Structure 1
Amino acid sequence: MNKKLTIVLLLSVCCGGLAAMSFKAPDVRYKNLKVLPKNISSKELNSLMADDFQDALGVTCSFCHAQNADGHGLDYASDAKPEKEITRQMMRMTLGLNKKYLKVRHPMLTGSALVVSCNTCHKGQAFPE
């Protein structure tokens, strides 16, 4: 009985110690960011790509991102597709409009209805009319 109690106590101390440890996810550094902040979190980047770009343009990732050389998956750092540079130009344009005319400092973070965004012109279409 004493041996079982010792094992249970030892396991509970070990498990409690592990639970108390702070596990920090490794910092992700994205390659080839030219408009977005270099220290953008994966949560912010995924939200911007999925919630903003994909919804506003009605496209998927492969619209701007080229295939990997092996044909499996996407090479997010590649500039092989011209759509990626066009997107950067459009991002600079909307950032500039928001800053100059609407005095918005961080338009991607405000969620304000008064912010010019991709959806302002695209309205779910890859090529606005």
Structure 2
Amino acid sequence: MYQLHKKKLLAGISLIFILMIGVAATTVQDKKPKPNLKVLPKDISHEELEKIMKGFNVSLGVKCNHCHAPSKTDAKKLDFSSDDKPEKNVARDMMRMTAKINKKYFDYGGGEGHAAALSCITCHNGKTHPESKITLPPPPPER
């Protein structure tokens, strides 16, 4: 009789152990890497971050791979947290510059009575490198 209870106990423990392994194996792990944010707020929502990135796409006429390096594990995907491409740091510098200009010269607070803020499209106009729109008058004739 003792032997029978021992076998049932062992079978029950084995079943519980197998179930625990099964649950652990099927639990979805969050494999999305955290964004590597150095200029944007760390608590920015995914939707707001996507909106800003799509703004870069339009403003510079580029796709995501302009600043984001390919994944080392899957060449068809991008590694959004990687800093391997220098263009990503250029973008960060440009964001800092634009914020500084807006704060210093435009008192940008939004709404009525405030000047419109500068953004990427102000200078880039859909091109990766901004082009000057200023046309200088011709030099005076020589005498």
Q: Residue 124 of structure 1: SS of its match in structure 2?
A: coil
**How far has the Cα of 1:119 moved from its partner?**
0.4
Number of equivalences: 98
Q: 1:115 aligns with which of 109, 114, 117?
A: 117
Partner in structure 2 of residue 76 of structure 1:
80
Give CA-to-partner distance per residue, 1:60-117, whole Å, 9 cap, x none: 0000000000213000000000000000000000000111111125x7xx7x871110
Normalising by structure 1, we get a TM-score of: 0.69
- The alignment status of 1:66 with 2:69, answered yes or no, reads yes
Normalising by structure 2, we get a TM-score of: 0.63
Separation in 2, partners of 1:82, 1:29: 20
Separation in 1, partners of 2:37, 2:70: 18
Partner in structure 1 of residue 39 of structure 2:
35
- Structure 1 portions without partners, runs of 5+: 1-25
Bigger helix fraction: 1
Give the % identical residues. Answer: 48
- Structure number with the bigger relative contact order (C-alpha 8 A, sep ≥ 6) is 1
Separation in 1, partners of 2:51, 2:35: 18
Separation in 2, partners of 1:124, 1:68: 26
Separation in 1, partners of 2:59, 2:67: 14
- Checking the alignment, whether the CA contact within 8 Å between 1:35 and 1:92 is kept in structure 2 is yes
- Checking the alignment, whether the CA contact within 8 Å between 1:30 and 1:38 is kept in structure 2 is no
RMSD, matched Cα: 2.3
Partner in structure 1 of residue 6 of structure 2:
none
- Checking the alignment, whether the CA contact within 8 Å between 1:94 and 1:117 is kept in structure 2 is yes
Partner in structure 1 of residue 48 of structure 2:
44
- The alignment status of 1:96 with 2:100, answered yes or no, reads yes
Partner in structure 1 of residue 10 of structure 2:
none
- Structure 2 portions without partners, runs of 5+: 1-29, 132-143
- Checking the alignment, whether the CA contact within 8 Å between 1:57 and 1:119 is kept in structure 2 is yes
